[in-house]
Homo-oligomer: A and B are copies of this chain.
Amino acid sequence: MPKMQPPRGTRDFLPREMNRRQYIIDTARRVFESFGFEPLDTPAFESWELLSAKGGGGEEIKNEIYYFKDKSNRELGLRFDLTVPLARVVANNPQMQKPFKKYQAGKVWRYDRPQAGRMREFLQMDPDVVGTSEMDADAECIAVAVETLKRLGFKRFEVRLNNRKILNGLTEFVKIPPKSSADVFRILDKLEKVPRNEITRGLKKTGIGSSKITKLMKLIEIRGKPSETLPKIGKFLGGIKKAEEGLSELKKIYELSKAYGFDKYILIDFSMVRGLDYYTGPIFEITTRTRKEVGSVAGGGRYDNLIELYGGRETPATGISLGIERIYEIMDSENMFDVPASNTTVFIVSVKKEIRKNVLEISQELRKGGINTETDLTGRDLRKQLDYANRKQIPYALIVGPKELKSGKFTLKDMRTGRETALTLGGVAKKVN
């Protein structure tokens, strides 16, 4: 007898959960398309060569992905994000018109330790803008994510902004050798979770002098609303050109955010780093205030070098990724779903088996009128049929028997109130639609 559980780190979605998940997916799709993003789809697995290329996943990604060989010994791996496949598609299709605005909705896989908000299989939805270095593209990706969250009913969230150019400029300013900077970033990333003195202790261990640490900590601690933080930080950047460029990009995004209407959600946070190697400019992360332990519900940034690294033309690009499982988890625990338990509107209760043909014809007619209609497939009795419709939370039951077929009037039972009305088929269609 084989294992009945899904593999560790993965899960099944039964209809009630799937209807809700589908609601999130459909809402996001509608918002993405309202901004002019078009759908794209790529395979679940990619060549190991692509996944592990420098600047993308890197060799070290092997420990975090599902790696395998096909029967011809090709090295493959399940994709760990949707950005690497997108960059491959763009590199492979130079003819595509720019800016290329696309979204992808797809599962990705990471061999993490499973925990709350972190499964080994999860669904991401990514809008990206490829082919422009203007901050308009970054602002629009954030706007699309914010609009999706608002449409789903989220009210309290933060859009954290930082810029890799500032982070890199900063390490240059305090003269941290490039090979230590990844360690430094990793430590800074924990600022919210661990006490300040633990951060400084960690930084000391990487071999940075205490005056440098003081400089770093000063900048990192300037967190808050852009109107307060952005004017203040110029002097901390020590005239490093790259960092100032990064600051000016953040200012542009902030200006644009006012027109898009997401300025009030922005939090400038120089301790926010984001894990992946490929970011080159602004980086962003959206967290909801109600359930911080779930982690960010969306995140992304600019990756201007990735497409060229994959052999494509020099092509700037930016994008954001929505984590559908995390959004689901928060919406579920906050009772934010207003999705019916069943997609079916009418269940036809057949009084006797002999009128099966009539029942089917009536069901086909209701469906033609756009009404999702289910009939009994088991031949069981009236009471059991009603019980099934009730448990499935189908809102209406339509009782059909020889008498009703003769008169052309059918009893429609509202399953929530128990109220019954005698109606023609046309009347039923009007009532339930």
Contacts and interface: CB of A to CB of B under 8 A. Distances in A.
Interface in A250-306: 256, 258-261
A126 interface: no
Contacts of A344: 33, 36, 38
Contacts of A184: none
Contacts of A11: 43
B71 A63 contact: yes
Nearest to A388: B97
B391 A50 contact: no
A321 to B, nearest CB: 18
B378 A102 contact: no
A181 interface: no
Given A134-B379, A377-B129, A378-B132, A42 B12 contact: yes
Given A5-B92, A360-B256, A372-B33, A38 B19 contact: yes
B66 A68 contact: yes
A1 interface: yes
A395 B111 CA distance: 45
Given A259-B357, A356-B136, A45 B7 contact: yes
Given A7-B76, A18-B38, A377-B132, A2 B53 contact: yes
Contact of A19 (B1, B39, B111, B364): B39
A100 to B, nearest CB: 8
Interface string A54-95: 001000000100111111101010100000010011011100
Interface in A20-53: 21-22, 33-36, 38-47, 49-50, 53
Interface string A355-391: 0110011001001001111111111000000001001
B67 A38 contact: no
Contacts of A41: 12-13, 18, 21
Nearest to A17: B41
A129 B375 CA distance: 12
B66 A40 contact: no
A309 B1 CA distance: 7
**What 4 A-B pairs have minimum CB-CB distances, sorted nearest first?**
A36-B374, A68-B68, A15-B38, A10-B43
A43 B6 contact: yes
Contacts of A13: 39-42
Nearest to A106: B107
Contacts of A101: 374, 377
Nearest to A78: B44
Contacts of A6: 42-43, 46, 88
